[in-house]
Structure 1
Amino acid sequence: MNGKAGNVRWSIGGLIGLGVIVNYFDRVNISVATHPMMNQFHLSLGRVGILLSAFSWSYTVMQIPIGSILDRIGIKWLNRIGIILWSLATMLTAVAGGMGIVILSRVLLGIAECPAFPGASKATGYWFPLRERGLATSLFDGAAKISNVLGIPLVAWTMTMWGWRGGFWFTAILSLVFAVVWWIWYRDPEEHKKITKEELEYIKEGGAQETGAPEDGVLRSLGFLLTQRKVLALTFGFAAYGYAFGLLSSWIPGYLETQMHMSLLKTGAYSVVPWIVASVADVFIGGWLVDKVIRSGRDASKVRKTFMAIGMILGLTVGLAGFTKNPIIAIIWITISLAGLSMFAPIGWSLPSIVAPKGTVGIVGGIMNFLNGFVGIVSTILTGYVAQASHSFAGPFILAACVLVVGIFFYTVVMGRIEQIQR
């Protein structure tokens, strides 16, 4: 039935994924520019850690407010404004004359981009039935990994050709182009002119979230959700993922340049490998395979929890990457770790649209991403200072593995059954 009903929902899924790719180009550019900025602004590894984390300061603080705003005014308009603002913030980085302006621009970028993932989770809940939720979620979560496959070498090339500032101008212009595309095509299901009646019925009958604001108001809904075991478990469990993923997404290029003494272009080439494997694991294991196993009749909650646990266990191999001087072996361990984390991620991001009561997907996603962003700040800064003090990334990598063990506990023991919370 779904093929005959129409496929507007998949064009929306592709649009959301494209937006995340463009969104992450504006995040990874600072990682690629780490070494040139260190030279121009005379930065230590510790100060680089502060610089890399600046985006997450505002991104984290704004998560719960933005989640509430998403539930109130909707995805369409908030993302329209956000995309234009993050383009301007990236332009500000390109013209920065010192570390202070770069930090300011990254803080502004964090504010502008904070609706991206809660909004993507909310839109996926609106547009896709439960039986397609895993693959649909992997389209935008996998896009975050694909953005590194495309973005790191592309931005490295533009910075090699036109300097590190040229890389920021390139991503800013790309974001403005996407703003036009989003403005034209994104609508909620009920107001999209291209959707058929059959497809709309297929989406709703399949268990899609209903559009609309929280029934009890934002503050009452927030207070209620913060007392729910499922919300707390998915929040702390996802934060463990965020710690390890934040370390790897921020520090792979810097790690290869400083500890493995690679050139900028070689760093870009080596960094692509883990992200290619991560992209495949995200879409085909965390997305397609999980949906396939659930459709076969297996218990959906057990399937999701099993795949999440396996993914986080594989993520523990990040602890081995700091103990080798061979870049190929280091990349192998990082690749296994990122693949595991990536097969976990789309399942984790699908949970707000599954467990949240009506009208609160944005709030639940904001709560989850708030702590995720906070530990990302800690991870990024702590990694820089510990690596600087010990002249090695072994300590930070081991700590990331230990944090993942805590995450496994929350998802497998504390979470309980994955199903919608009843008011």
Structure 2
Amino acid sequence: MSTSSPQLAAQPHQMSRYRFVIAGFCFLLGLVNYLDRVVISFAIKPIQSDLRIEDASFGLLMSAFAIGTLSVNAISGFLLDRFGVKIIWSIGLFAWSIVMILQGFVEIFWMFIALRVLLGIGEGVNFPAMNRALVDWMKPSELGRALSFSLLGVPLALLVGGLVLAPLILDVGWRWSFIILGILGAILGFLFLFLYRQPPTGQADATPVEVDRIPLRSLLMNPTLLATGWSFFAFGWVLFFGLSWLPGYLEQTWDMKLDSVGFASTLPWALAILLMPIGGWISDSLMRRTGSTRRARVHLIWICQLLSVLCFIPVIFVESVTWAVVFISLAIGFSMAPNSPYYSICADLFKRRAAAATGIIVTFFSISGVTCPIITGWLAQTGDGFSGAFTALCIVVASGVLGMVFFATGRVDSRNQEIKS
């Protein structure tokens, strides 16, 4: 049993200014991570033309990435808790940068799929590592806000993708766009390797021996963590639809040109950038006042996801591209707003195994990354446009709302109280 006490959470190393450097690194790495992911969604037509594939095959290409992340999410969390952020995150950084560059030279569809799987393996380390780093360095009272800031790299990448990547693809082609992003990732990897340092000895987190004493079943059988994982699957469905198919939806349904698609597709992510810090601030404020994970994290998640569903439903019926963009922007913005509370739940319930807990919920997220692009592409190709795809999206997100309402109690089993000590 660990002898650590809650007072250790406020030790000087966590109060130092270096914690803001950590948050900055997390933001930049999340930004580059998602720039790598989003570039392919703006290159749908040129890639389809070069490789002679259709929507269903492109959906398979998108899902190949998520297969890679799915294979490594859970195990990376345990490795991060065991060996620390610097070693594991550095390996992932250089792996995904090299593979990103190699994609620029691919000529065969199945080779592209293999590289997308490898890219996913490299990038699958990112979010468990981010949560582990922030839990190590930030004060509990500011964790939600730190997470919301660091996670802004996700919508910002999608916002920048619309404004920068679409013109870049038009100017230099999709292949050089991939190569440039791979080089950028490698540069950031070297900076991270030389500047990141592990938290000093004496932190509130467990040693490797203490980590091993916390059983895996404590995580896998926790109703709140499992409900959070399923809700994160639904969150991922929305995100992967926006990342993979929003530009294609605007092009195919409304005959928009690529430059117009680039602008319209930035609006949901611009709104997300505004709402995510608000979500983190509300969550931390409620946590300070109530000390309740359910009130501060769970309720915020299901309310925002319910609002997202209510905004997606009209998209099925609208006959104007303007209203379609408005409702999609609101829906994605509301869905993204409680992003940081998902990660905060892992830290609230399993501080010493925060990376492992994060790896579990991100595994759910990655499953949506496998299924959403394929199912969306199949529904778009075989059904009446994207109506079926939006219907499926609404059903998935609504199920996540119900899971959080009825199963996410915000408590840890009393038999495993050492996890919270």
Common fold: TM-score over 0.5: yes
For the residues of structure 2 that align with 1:49 and 1:334, how far apart are their CA atoms? 20
For the residues of structure 1 that align with 2:315 and 2:195, how far apart are their CA atoms? 43
List gaps (5 residues or longer) in structure 1: 192-199
For the residues of structure 1 that align with 2:34 and 2:380, how far apart are their CA atoms? 25
Letter in 2 for 1:109: L
The DSSP-based 3-state class of the residue aligned with 2:200 is helix
Contact 1:126 1:211 in 2 (8 A): no
- Aligned positions, number: 405
Specify the alignment match of 1:375 in structure 2.
368
Report 1:351-370 matches (<5 A). 351-356=345-350, 358=352, 360-370=353-363
Contact 1:156 1:167 in 2 (8 A): no
Q: Which moved more, 1:127-136 or 1:324-333?
A: 324-333
Letter in 2 for 1:13: A
For the residues of structure 1 that align with 2:385 and 2:350, how far apart are their CA atoms? 42
For the residues of structure 2 that align with 1:288 and 1:230, how far apart are their CA atoms? 22
Letter in 1 for 2:45: H
Instruction: Give yes or no for the alignment of 1:399 onto 2:392.
Output: yes
Specify the alignment match of 2:205 in structure 1.
210
**Aligned-pair distance for 1:393?**
0.9
For the residues of structure 1 that align with 2:131 and 2:411, how far apart are their CA atoms? 16
Closer, same or farther in 2 for the Cα pair 1:224/1:289, shift >3 Å? closer
Q: Percent identity?
A: 26
For the residues of structure 2 that align with 1:215 and 1:357, how far apart are their CA atoms? 12
**Aligned-pair distance for 1:91?**
0.9
Instruction: Give yes or no for the alignment of 1:249 onto 2:231.
Output: no
CA deviations over 1:25-75 (Å, ceiling 9, x no partner): 110011111111112222111111111111001111211111111122111
Contact 2:81 2:211 in 1 (8 A): no
**Aligned-pair distance for 1:121?**
1.0
The DSSP-based 3-state class of the residue aligned with 1:422 is helix
The DSSP-based 3-state class of the residue aligned with 1:188 is coil
Specify the alignment match of 2:233 in structure 1.
239
Contact 2:100 2:182 in 1 (8 A): yes
The DSSP-based 3-state class of the residue aligned with 1:190 is coil
Specify the alignment match of 2:294 in structure 1.
301
**C-alpha RMSD of matched pairs (Å):** 2.3
Contact 2:66 2:120 in 1 (8 A): yes
The DSSP-based 3-state class of the residue aligned with 1:189 is coil
What TM-score results when the alignment is normalised by the length of structure 1?
A: 0.90
**Aligned-pair distance for 1:260?**
1.5
CA deviations over 1:383-406 (Å, ceiling 9, x no partner): 000011114111111211111111
**Aligned-pair distance for 1:295?**
3.7
Contact 1:320 1:398 in 2 (8 A): no
Contact 1:320 1:397 in 2 (8 A): no
Contact 2:68 2:117 in 1 (8 A): yes
Residue of structure 1 aligned with 2:144, choices 118, 134, 139: 134
Letter in 2 for 1:164: W
What TM-score results when the alignment is normalised by the length of structure 2?
A: 0.90
For the residues of structure 2 that align with 1:211 and 1:144, how far apart are their CA atoms? 29
List gaps (5 residues or longer) in structure 2: 1-9
Instruction: Give yes or no for the alignment of 1:271 onto 2:281.
Output: no
